[in-house]
Structures are given as C-alpha cells and as structure tokens.
Structure 1
Amino acid sequence: MSDSESPVSADALARTYSPPSYSDPVDVVKDYGRTMDYASRHPNKGSSAIASALELPRGRIRPWLDGAKPDAVRGIETARDYGWLEAEYGDPEFTAHNTLVANVFSAGSISEQYYRPSFALNHRGEDSHVLDALELAGCEYRIVADRRDRADEARPTEDASVLGRVLAALGAPVGPKADQQLALPTYLTDAPDDVRETFVYSYLENRAIEHDDKATLTVREARNRTYLESLAALIDDVAGGGVSLGERDIVISADAARELGTVR
C-alpha cells in the first residue's frame, strides 16, 4: 500500500454489517446504489417496475424508494462525512484511527453487538493520549468514572458504532480479546515509520511496566504467542533493537527504552 492509498475501504466497512438476505454486505450497498440510480433516471416508474427491471424483490427496494437506507449505506455515508474513508496515512484522521486501534488492543474494547468502542484512560488520566485521538477524529465522547477498581473510560457518543466499525475494518479486535487469536493490523506491515511509531508509542503508554531497580520496561499480555511475537518484533523495529520476548513478557532493554523516550 502506498502513502496515497486509504487503508480503510467502503467495502471493508460494509462487511462489518450483517444485512438480511445478503451473504456479502457489499452487495446490499451495490443494490441500493443501482436502485437509486435507476429511480433517478426513471422518475415515473414505481417500485414494482423498478424491482422487475433490476430483478430485485419489490419488498426490499420499496423502503429505499421511500427514503430508508440499508445500515451499511448509512455507515459508509457517515464515515465519509467525517473524512474517515478518504483518510490516508499522513492525514490527521488516520493518525487518530491508528492511535485508537492501538488503544483497542492495549486498553480498550469494541462491543460485539453494536461495535461501540470504549477506551480506558492510562496513568495520565484526563491527559491520556486517547482523548487527543478522539478529538482528532472529530468524535464527541464522555468520561465514565467511579468504576470501582477499574480505570476511568472514554466512550464516544455521537456515531460511536460507525467509529467502532471503522476501527474494526482497520484490524482492531471486536469482542473479548482473551477469547481470540489476535493479530496486529495488516496495514502496519507496509506503513510509513511514523505510523508504526505512533502505534507502538500509544500501545506502550498504556501497557509498559516500569521497574524501580532498573531502566528496562516490560509488557505483560495474556495473549496468543503469535500475537506477542509480532508485537515484540514491531516494538523492536521501532526501537532499533533491544526488545525480546520471554516466556510471558516482552522485555524492552534500557537502551531501547531510552530510544523510545521511555514512553512513561
């Protein structure tokens, strides 16, 4: 993928939806587009004639002709209005999304039922970088505090489900992470250095553990081994070496921690 291509496609976003009667959600977007295009070119034809011409069930297209839209179409339109679908690697919107994806992996979640994301605030509290990322994405949010022994959370409010679906389309996990075989987002493979750095810095600000008696950092994650291996390799690449994966922990040497700015 080149710097000029957007990592998020309308098709990938559409496939986070589950429209009835469609095995591939992209097809409902195409059928809606065909229907509305045909109707605009034949304004005197009713739903029965249009359905016959397009070989689509009348009961499916009649609500569209009356102003309804498939959820996938609404989601794509909303994401496009925010500039999320057009966002390229160097754009502020993608910087925000990359940061938020890292936060889903390291200190957040996306609900399975409605794709609504939530993000735990790190040790910086309301100075946590995730709030800057949400603002950069153009998202309104609320802080949920007093969660007993759990960290305060930032939860997007307006169009939260669409944001969660965009993050999922980028490779963020949906649902409980402990139950999944995780893999890092594929866009990181060929992403520019600054994109990979932002992902790593965001991750480590949430998960890196400092030690009183040494300058190394550790990351402890109860995740599948292949994920930990790829995460350690990514951090090692960004730090320029000095990162290793042990039995349970990713260990960041003192030199690597200094190269990363310690991130804590």
Structure 2
Amino acid sequence: MRNPFIQTLCHIPCEIGESPIWLASAQSLFWVDTEDHCIHQYSLETKTHRATKVPVAVTAIAPARSGWLAATKTGLYRCQADFSDFEFIADPTEGLPGIRLNDAVNCPNGDLWFGSMNEAHLEQADGCLYRYEAATNRISQIDSDYAVANGIAFNATLKRAYVANMFRGQVIELQMSDDWTAVLNKRVLIELPEQEGLPDGLTTDAYGNLYVCHWNKGAVSVYSPQGHCIHLEELPVKHATRCTFGGDRLDMLFVTTGWYGMSEQDRSEQPLSGCTFVLPAPFSGKADSFFSGSL
C-alpha cells in the first residue's frame, strides 16, 4: 500500500532527476537533471524553487566545505557554492569510447567516490569505481566490472561501502580497510528479481540500514545491514533514482525520480514521473558527508 503521506516537493519534472543533497546551512535540497544541464534547489524555509543552468552535463554533485564537486559526462569538476566557475579536474575515462562518469558520493573519510558506465552498452561490465583523494587530489581506481556503477553508500560503523551493479540487478558490498583505501572483501549483498526493477541510487540511515531506489519499479526498499528487506515505500512513478535525508531532525526522506525512456502513454498515466518527492523517513536519517579537501 502506498504511503498516504508522500508529497510532491517539486512539480518540475526531470528527465533523470539525480543526486539529492540536503544542506542544513541553506535549509535546502539540491539535485540535478542529468539530461538538462540543470541543478535544482528547493528551500524548505521559503518554499521556493530555483533552477541553475550549468555549462556541463552534471550527473551527480557532492558538497565540499567551500563549494561543490561534480561528476559530469565529460569528467570530474569543481565549482563554487552557487554553481558558478566550473573548473575541470580530471577524467579517468578519457580515451575510453562510450565510457563516462555516473554517480558520485562523499566517503566518511572525506574522499569522493564516483563510478563510471558504458553509455552505449549499459549491460557491459565496463564500469569502474574510483576515489578522488582529499589529501592528495589524486584519482585512484577502487574496483571494476560494473554494468553501470551506481548508487554509492557507506556504513561508517561497519566500514562497508555499497555500490549498485545496476544492470546486473545487484547491490555489491565492499568490506573496506579502516582508512577506506583498500577493499578487503567483496560480495553480492542484494539481488533484485527482474519484476522489482533495477537498483539505482543508495543511501544509509543512522542504524546502518540500506535504502535502494528501484529503476523500472518506482519504489524505495530498505534493507538491514545483513541484507534482509525490512521496509518498502512505493511511489506513483516508474523510476526512483536516489534518496537522501533532510529536515532539522533528518526525519524526512527526499526521493528524486525520472521519466527517461517512458512513452507518452506511460507519462500520461504517471504524470508525476520526474518530480521530486518527500515523505516521513521510516527510520532516523544521517547527514551527507562533505569532501574534506581544498577546492
């Protein structure tokens, strides 16, 4: 049964809404439309929405102390707090035909993790997982063999990282070293059956539970750290892309969605596809991490 308390935060539909980030300092949610060169901001304080056009196709944003890092279809960038002055950092996929960056999330140790994908052949395991090290400003590869490396999340207590191996229908668990620099063990934690869609964006709450957004299903499922499904939130859309916590008590769950690939009939039947939603969080949330390096 669908949660009656789900509300539409923003009615402006994104083709692929992604990377919701709550900034307590601004009392605002930020997210991107990966297909529209656009970054959105919604202020809970003033109930106002602002869209900022940017010069590159941003696929994910991650907060830093004095600005933002942005994964884009043409590499990794840094920019100012108002999303001005985009400056190219590097692109580890340069020279690899059809390969580009995708999702990006800050690690609890202050580094940035980001994934890649084969844009032309989504089911090919050409995607890799990278780290942009805050202390050295170097990029290193963490892992490989992903059919779209997506939805990165972390359990700081257990030293676990989670990555959606999207077009394999899997969520991978990486057991990490204490400093988050080495993979000690890798296993499939969750495998979604075809009728449940594909795992997209991920996040974790204050208890270490893992939230999985379902592409092709329009839902957010919650798993215990042991990989058992303990909760399900259904949405009135086809594609749920990523979620995060916000509000003064981190008791609100924000979910971005998309209408990418949907027919006109599907869009008319699901007119809220691409909108951003907010609902009461089923469990207490946690704040997003910040990149600790200098920009």
TM range (shorter): under 0.3
Q: Going by fraction, where is helix more abundant, 1 or 2?
A: 1
Tell me the TM-score normalized by structure 1. 0.26
Structure with higher Rg: it is 1
- Given the two structures, how large is their TM-score scaled by the length of structure 2? 0.24
